[in-house]
Amino acid sequence: MALFTTFIFCFDHLSQTDNLFCMRKAILIFLIQFFGVFVFAQSIDPQLSIIPEPVTATVNPGHFVLPPNIIIEIDESKDASGVAALLSAQLIASTGFKVSVVTKTNPSATVRFVLNKNEDKAIGEEGYTMSVTQKNIVIKANRPAGLFYGSQTLLQLLPKEIESKSLAKNVVWRTPCVSITDYPRFGWRGLMFDVSRHFFTKQQVKDFIDEMVKYKYNLLHMHLTDDEGWRIEIKSLPKLTSVGAWNVKRVGYFGTFALPAAGEPRDYGGFYTQDDIRELVQYAKERFVNILPEVDVPGHSLAAVVSYPELSCTPGAENYKVRSGEEIMDWSHGAPPIALEDNTLCPANEKVYEFLDKVMTEVAQLFPFGYIHVGGDECPKNFWEKSDAIKALMQKEGLKTMEEVQSYFEKRLEKIVESKGKKFMGWDEILEGGLAPGALVMSWRGMKGGIEAAKMGHEVVMTPTNFVYLDYMQSDGIIEPHVYATLRLRTAYQFEPVPDGVDAKFIKGGQGNLWSEQVYNTRHLQYMVWPRSLALAECLWSPKEKKDWNKFAKKTETNFDRMDIQQVKYSRALFDPIFTAKKDANDSLQIELSTEVEGLDIYYSFDNSHPDNFYPKYSTTLSVPKESVMLKVITYRDGKPIGRQIDMPINELRKRAGLKLYITPKPE
């Protein structure tokens, strides 16, 4: 606009000689503006921030801009129609543009979905290729799943406002020109959602699915039963939900609550009807997600025992109640725990196997996925040791240990599961006492159980606590909702599902597990899942050699902007300061500060005031001033606060360093 104004002013107000000068000036301005716009256009495109990282991605010159009339072309078989419908809905919601889906070749097509007639073996069942030129966008795949994952990548290439559920204004809807070839490293890319400890609604499960598929997860593991609630309708066993789905509401630190009083209402909980399950299965299927049901037995079964006390070995089980968060296990002696109440099914009771046959019949009919997860973890055996029925079973079957008793149970249950046309799987405790012949092992107590099972020729899904347990704290325990362990984002990103010395063909993949004892609502659920599930997504999809922590951390920040648009809560713990407390040779406390990501400045105070970037900047190990009681720390980037201020008591650091606590002298 300034260019045209200059021309008009020149010709209207100046002499011929001055006009010549002014014209030259205008041309100079034009050239400056032209090249300035060109340089600006080149500089505003950030590096690709696709999570998980594609196998190959090449940025080419130029951009493609979405037109106001978007045409999505699919082939005549209409196998891609579901993918096109999902993409259309998102484009319409955020851009407000008109979107048409056509099945005939259209030279004006904006996006072309192409199912390969000749299979591209390199990209497999879920892979895709994408070409974005200044003319159009072409996504090719062997199967509709590949088209779907390609469309998720396309959405990440567009401006962050594409994530909006309502019309976003003043946005240029453009994407860089790119060439991408992409396919997953593992076929099992899962997240486990514990809906038993706290019940989450059908809509909340759908929302969870919508969030996970953006990052190419394809497996939702639903932990449906536990001591705190039975969450799936079994029509032949109605008490499982009329009784077993309800407890007394408590908030605070789960596992520490007092026993509910006799008259307190048991109205907290809920369950999914069989129609709900069918709806969730279909919703997931449309987004290329399988749902793995878990019925956790023989331990973690208090809700079932309360519903049908005859399933227990223990007299008096009819007096038990569904757990509301009170202590029912003694973990002071390690695992397995000592049960204060018997939360197990009785392996010596034939009624238990009749019960499980009914349950597995209905579960198998509801979930088309090929596996049923039967738990098997943390089964206390102290009540079994007292049971005459268990002793008789051991003598009859020649069982020598309680682990062999559980193995007997698992092998019988495997036959039931397989009789329903499903494969049997459980947590790595099912290895103890002898593994059922066709069992798949989900290794959670580190990698050891998975390594052992793989070397025996069993399929394995890796879910080790130290890398993928999403219920763990994300930052320092002094600031996070308290749980018994910490898992930082950078550690999660170091997850490698295939251990050295193990044949990779037995490792199906991995998953993150969100146990919900301390997760009371969906906002906190999101906070615990993201961004650590971004890290896991890249570990499971991307080639091992493509992983780069510094690059991933930058991409994560970019995705935070997208999550803000989606109104998805996430943790910013990666910006928080990290405390390392040590003692020197003189038993004096020494404090080291660090951060997960590069480029952050750390400021601190010992005088109880709130530090900012005018306070001392951390550069070397800190010694504590005499009688100081608090270290306050905050991180900055480019002169602006980025991490949370953490107020760390000096006595907490002394405890971590193995030093005596400092006692503040009382004034005389």
Which residues fall within 8 angstroms of residue 31, CB to CB, at 6 or more apart?
Answer: none
pLDDT in tens, 565-597: 999 999 999 999 999 999 999 999 999 999 999
Q: Is 457 helix (H, G, I), strand (E, B) or coil?
A: coil
Per-residue DSSP letter, 245: T
Going by pLDDT thresholds of 50, 70 and 90, the confidence category of residue 77 is confident
Q: Which of 53, 194, 342, 378 is catalytic?
A: 378
What mean pLDDT do residues 109-121 have?
96
Q: What's the fold here for domain 576-656?
A: Immunoglobulin-like (2.60.40)
Asked about 300 being catalytic, the answer comes back as yes
Give 253-281 pLDDT, tens digit per residue.
Answer: 999 999 999 989 999 999 999 999 999 99
| CA distance linking residue 668 with residue 660, whole number of Å | 24
Region label for 365, one of left (φ > 0), alpha (ψ between -120 and 50) or beta (otherwise): alpha
Task: Note if 496 is an active site residue.
Answer: no
- The model's pLDDT over 592-613, given as tens digits with 9 standing for 90+, comes to 999 999 999 999 999 999 999 9
Contacts 24+ apart (CB under 8 A), 411-416: 411/436, 411/437, 412/353, 413/297, 413/353, 413/356, 413/374, 414/438, 414/439, 416/353, 416/356, 416/357, 416/360
Say how far residue 47 (Cα) sits from the centre of its chain: 24
Task: Tell me if residue 13 is catalytic.
Answer: no
How far is 370 from 97, CA to CA, in rounded Å?
A: 41
3-state SS, one letter per residue, for 324-373: CCECCEECCCCCCCEECCCCCCCCCCHHHHHHHHHHHHHHHHHCCCCEEE
Which residue in the block uniquely carries the two structure tokens 């976003």? Answer: 168
Confidence band of 36 (pLDDT split at 50, 70, 90): very low
Return the domain boundaries, the chain.
Answer: 2-43, 56-182, 188-573, 576-656
Element (H, E) at 534: helix 532-541
The answer to whether 109 touches 83, Cβ cutoff 8 Å, is: no
pLDDT at residue 34 is higher than 50: no
pLDDT at 534 over 90: yes
State the SS3 of 170-195: CCCCEEEEEEEEECCCCCEEEEEEEC
- The residue whose two tokens read 């010709």 is 11
- Is residue 562 classed as helix, strand or coil in its secondary structure? helix
Q: Check residue 319 and give its pLDDT.
A: 96
Catalytic residue among 226, 228, 414, 432: 226
Q: Compute how many other C-beta atoms are within 10 angstroms of the C-beta atom of residue 486.
A: 14
Q: What's the start-to-end Cα distance of the chain, in Å?
A: 77
Catalytic residue among 300, 326, 410, 414: 300
Of 20-24, 182-186, 212-216, 251-255, least confident by mean pLDDT is: 20-24
CB 342 within 8 A of CB 384: no
Domain 56-182, CATH 3.30.379.10 — does that match?
A: yes
Per DSSP bridges, beta strands 630-637 and 601-605 are: antiparallel
188-573: in CATH 3.40.1350.10: no
